[in-house]
Amino acid sequence: MNAIISSQQLLDALDARVENHLKAAIDIFQNLEENLLMRKSPSGGWSIAECLWHLNSYGDFYLPEIEKALKRNQKRSNTFKSGWLGGYFTQLMKPGAKMNKMKAFKSHTPPIITEPYKVVALFIEQQERLINLLKAAQASDLTNTKVPISISPFIRLRLGDVFQFVIEHNERHLVQARNNLK
């Protein structure tokens, strides 16, 4: 059962996480040599640049959809309750000690990257945009405002769930990217 929580508490917690993602991008990834950004994981996984490209591809979809949803709904609610499907998708993305491997959809699979610094710069830009959207969402109803998902425009999740999903997904791949530095 999903508990009802304070919208402000949720937004503050999510904002703190995005600030950490932004800080990692600026302090770590932005200053790496190109060969380190492009180096494949020893386990055969994506390089740092590929992880960030993948996240940017989701940002390209979700950030405009969140903006549209925020423009449609300006009524405020003080509480948020996660939906069962949104909660499920969010839990699926949570990084853990042993992350389940998932196959990326073709449209979100990184191509051959030729300009890794542009990929990092876009990720930084998207994290700044996400912080602004979280601030704008303080005037919205996180439960009743709906956002379509990338795999099907017919499935719409609660705005609070979409924020949580996107941020957990970012966290998952930032863990993967950081592991490439070990």
pLDDT tens per residue, range 97-131: 445 565 565 655 676 889 999 999 999 999 999 99
Q: Which of 26, 19, 35 is nearest to 180 (CA)?
A: 35
CA 14, 17, 23, 25 torsion-angle sign: negative
Please state the pTM of the whole predicted model. Answer: 0.89
Nearest to 178 by CA among 18, 36, 58: 36
* Domain residue spans of the chain: 4-179
Give the orientation angle of helix 48-72 with respect to helix 159-179, to 10 degrees.
170
**pLDDT of residue 85 exceeding 90:** no
Three-state SS at 149: strand
What confidence tens digit (pLDDT) does each residue in 145-154 have?
999 998 888 8
Confidence of residue 39 (pLDDT cuts 50, 70, 90): very high
The CATH-assigned architecture of domain 4-179 is Up-down Bundle (1.20)
